[in-house]
Amino acid sequence: MLLVRDVSIEAGARALIIGATFSVQAGDKIGLVGPNGAGKTTLLRTLAGYRSSAEGAIRRSGVIGYLSQEAAVAKLPDEETTALERILSARAIGDLERHIETTRLEMESASAQARDRLIKRFSRLEDEFTARGGYIAKAEAKRFAHSLGIGSDELEQRVATMSGGQRRRVELARILFKETDTLMLDEPTNHLDLDAKAWLVSFLDAYEGGLLVVSHDLPLLDASITSVLSVEDHRIEAYRGNYSNFLSERERRREQRIKERRHQEEKIARLEQGIRRFKGTTEKMAKRARSWETRVEKMRGQLVEVGKKRKGVVLRFPQPEPSGSTPLNAEGLGKAFGHTVVFVDVDVDVDRGERLAIIGLNGAGKTTLLKILAGVDSPDVGDVEIGYRVSVGYYAQEHENLDLAATVLDHMRRVSGLPDQQLRGVLGHFLLADKIDQEAGSLSGGEKTKLALATLVVGRHNVLLLDEPTNNLDPQAKGALLDALDQYEGTIILVSHDVEFVAGVAPDRAVLMPDGETAYFDETMLELVELA
């Protein structure tokens, strides 16, 4: 359970949330909503105990499970940890199983004297593993993993070698496998396929603890929550019902506040008209006018706050200098991590101005292929050839190309020689104008996405490699990105699980992973996008 009383949260000297008061109790299913940068992720981190509030009190009881928006890049205590061990660690039995396996291997090569000691240790560890319900829990952990699209081979894979999407699903499985009283989930559907999303919705429906979830996946919010906390203008306002009810009720409340404000302003205008009329007349009427002035001053202090209509992201890619007719060509690409082969013999070629989608199930190597094309990673076999007059802009799904210690403005300076005034103007279009001196690491997931996109805009690239660019974006920003790409005349290579977004980009061709087959894109391929 969580009890939050008069909590205020700051980012540097800037107030994010002021005077928040609410609770999350068993059976509550609460959606935390608000535009990018409103403070949702920072609030969850504060509630989870990873940062302190400026004011107020937070009371926690029971076991809390927290899925961070940055879970996919969390540093692991042991680089040899497999996905299954990572999931089992939620119940403190993953390390125990590792000790059992290590002892078994030592037994095979030990001397007779040492073997007796190792046999005793192995027996003791196995008894402890059984007493903790290890074998039952192991089977349960595998069920959680498979439900979230983590295959049997992936469970034995080292987490350190996994893609961002794979690691994200492992972290989600670990949090859900943990026996919790309260769940706080930040964008839990990122990187989930259609079946995994359906399973997650079912799990959350049946979950008996308290749930606080941040998500831009509107169907999930509609299906899985019974109330909403809206973060806007530094305040938190509570709404009953699902997300659709919240949207209509929020508009109704806004219209009501507008009416109340108009009524107050009309009343003040009438009083001020009387003040001007009677202030210079008889002493009696002047005295009444002075009392009206006091009344007007009091009324101004009680004016209903309507709230400003929030600005939207404005995004436009400058038309780049044309590249050669074949801006990028790759032949015979192959990649493996240890004994895990990701793909072999993959060819990729694009024509100038073409839109190419890389499609495949989770773990098929889409992100790995894009990193190789971007020059961020190297293939084990094969070659990538960059064409004539090509400038490649790469958007990484986990924001790996952002320097978390550098400021927002410094990121822009690194990719463009434009004057600071113009760079600030671009950041303003991305609603980042008030964050230019903040370190990138202090931004929310949505704000990091906007910063990464802003650097692409000023980079004036004629080839864009985009890996899940809509993750963490609110609906308005996602629409703005789609409109900008529609006007862009350069070449686009896209990885995305967002069916609506892929359909809007309208790819010309698709590379089907992991086999690397290339085919002309048609609407039937959107079914595979949905499954990814």
Across the beta sheet with 2-11, the strand order is 14-24, 2-11, 55-60
Distance, CA of 261 to CA of 258 (rounded, Å): 5
Closest CA relative to residue 260, chosen from 309, 308, 307, 304: 304
Q: Is 139 exposed, middle or buried (0-12, 13-18, 19+ CB in 10 A)?
A: exposed
Cis peptide before 469 (omega within 30 of 0): no
Mean pLDDT of 124-144: 82
pLDDT of residue 216: 80
The beta strand positions in 12-141, using DSSP E, are: 14-24, 29-33, 55-60, 64-67
Distance, CA of 446 to CA of 452 (rounded, Å): 10
DSSP state of 38: S
Distance, CA of 501 to CA of 366 (rounded, Å): 17
pLDDT of residue 309: 58
pLDDT of residue 394: 95
pLDDT of residue 276: 82
Mean pLDDT of 455-472: 91
Which has more pLDDT, 372 or 109? Answer: 372
pLDDT of residue 273: 83
Domain spans of the chain? 328-531
- pLDDT tens-digit profile of 358-386? 999 877 889 999 999 999 999 999 999 99
pLDDT of residue 74: 56
Whether the per-residue pLDDT at 464 is higher than 90: the answer is yes
pLDDT of residue 94: 63
Please state whether 187 falls in left (phi above 0), alpha (psi between -120 and 50) or beta: left
- pLDDT tens-digit profile of 183-237? 999 989 888 877 888 899 999 999 999 999 998 887 777 888 899 999 988 889 9
Whether the per-residue pLDDT at 249 is higher than 80: the answer is yes
Whether the per-residue pLDDT at 406 is higher than 80: the answer is yes
Distance, CA of 202 to CA of 509 (rounded, Å): 35
3-state secondary structure of 71: helix
The beta strand positions in 199-327, using DSSP E, are: 210-214, 227-232, 235-240
Residue type, 303: L
Task: Report CA-CA distances (Å) from 273 to 281, 292, 371.
Answer: 14, 10, 69
DSSP state of 304: P
Which token pair is 218?
């509107």
CATH superfamily name and code, 328-531: P-loop containing nucleotide triphosphate hydrolases (3.40.50.300)
Please report which confidence band the pLDDT of residue 93 belongs to, taking 50, 70 and 90 as the band edges.
Answer: confident
For the chain, the average pLDDT equals 86
Rounded percentage of the chain residues whose pLDDT exceeds 90: 38
pLDDT of residue 379: 95
Distance, CA of 34 to CA of 228 (rounded, Å): 10
29-43, 101-115, 379-393: least confidently modelled range: 101-115
Contacts of 455 (CB under 8 A, 6+ apart): 393, 411, 412, 414, 415, 416
Task: Report CA-CA distances (Å) from 225 to 16, 207, 379.
Answer: 24, 11, 44
Residue type, 149: G
pLDDT of residue 308: 59
pLDDT of residue 232: 84
- pLDDT tens-digit profile of 264-315? 888 888 888 888 877 777 777 778 777 888 888 888 887 777 665 566 777 8
**Residue 350: half-sphere exposure toward Cβ, Cα within 13 Å:** 32
17-21, 93-97, 147-151, 231-235: least confidently modelled range: 93-97
Distance, CA of 266 to CA of 172 (rounded, Å): 54
Whether the per-residue pLDDT at 58 is higher than 90: the answer is yes
pLDDT of residue 455: 92
Contact 509, 518 (CB under 8 A): yes
Please report which confidence band the pLDDT of residue 66 belongs to, taking 50, 70 and 90 as the band edges.
Answer: very high
pLDDT of residue 307: 61
Distance, CA of 103 to CA of 84 (rounded, Å): 19
Whether the per-residue pLDDT at 27 is higher than 80: the answer is yes
Mean pLDDT of 63-84: 77
Whether the per-residue pLDDT at 118 is higher than 60: the answer is yes
pLDDT of residue 72: 52
Closest CA relative to residue 184, chosen from 62, 12, 97: 62
Considering 7-16, 32-41, 167-176, the range whose residues carry the highest mean pLDDT is 167-176
Distance of CA 448 to the CA centre of its chain: 9
Whether the per-residue pLDDT at 181 is higher than 60: the answer is yes
Which token pair is 518?
């290339």
Closest CA relative to residue 305, chosen from 360, 228, 237: 237
Contact 191, 160 (CB under 8 A): no
